[in-house]
Amino acid sequence: MPTFVDGPVRVSVPATSANLGPGYDTLGLALSLRDELEAEVLPDGLVVDVAGAGADAVPRDESHLVVRSMRAAFALMGEQPPGLRLSCRNVIPHARGLGSSSAAIVAGVVLARALVAGGQLLASDDSLFELAADLEGHPDNVAPAFYGGFVISGREDGRWYAVRAGVDPRVTAVVYVPPTGVETVVARGLLPGSVPHADAAANSGRAALLVAALTGQPEHLLAATRDWLHQDQREPAMPETLALVRRLRSHGVPAVVSGAGPTVLAFGTTNTAALTQRCPDGWACHDLAIEPSGAVLLT
């Protein structure tokens, strides 16, 4: 039966951008925008404190996503603590396509393992990643949130997999975050049940090209980020997002919808300052690096 550590543990988890154009539910990047969370075991009860992004909307009880993820990880390790205190300092915008729910899930499972003495022996990295992907339902955001960097992920023989690939050091990113969000379930609901074979083939080719572009040939990023499967189909829920993507691409900027949107992600290699100057009124723009580290325990 596991025992729990004394005192609090803290974790930092990055924002993520998934799909990256043609890599639907498969490709994801960690970005240098991070939430920080702290948790400790209490004699009884549950205390949840949230500040920053989403603070006015998330619950403070057992339904909080981080708490639910912690409970799932504790169950994996065989014991629930008598009480919990959780403190969240959120920077990642909610409902914007930057992986806030994946960050919460990954933070929860990592915090839970850190609170159990010998947790690394009871729950490996692979088992925690699989649990996080099960909780999210798809791996493209949780994989880079957990492992960092650029990750290709999916499901094979009933199990989730994640494979990291290096990112060319010249590649940076700018995110354009609109003032209002779109729930992932709404964005996914706009996708058709089937697509033409030609579109699927075109997307497969661009996804393969995107791996080559990100890992060493960024001059191909514009062509590599072309998508046929999901971006245009989501336009009814985010018309300003798709208008910005098209405007940037018409100027040669490799721009895509970040995850399910409505944030726009633009890849840069040199003059990213010029990209942030194109920020629409009322939007928030951030010049970010590709974050090499995923969830990190803080001392």
For the annotated binding site, the residues are 93-103
For the annotated binding site for ATP, the residues are 93-103
Cα separation, 186 vs 235, whole angstroms: 11
Return the HEC string of the chain: CCCECCCCEEEEEEEEEEECCCEEEEEEEEEEEEEEEEEEEECCEEEEEEEECCCCCCCCCCCCHHHHHHHHHHHHHCCCCCEEEEEEEECCCCCCCCCHHHHHHHHHHHHHHHHECCHHHHCCHHHHHHHHHHHHCCCCCHHHHHHCCEEEEEEECCEEEEEEECCCCCCEEEEEECCCCCCHHHHHHCCCCCCCHHHHHHHHHHHHHHHHHHHCCHHHHHHHCCCCCCCHHHHHHCHHHHHHHHHHHHCCCCEEECCCCCCEEEEECCCHHHHHCCCCCCCEEEEECECCCCCEEEC
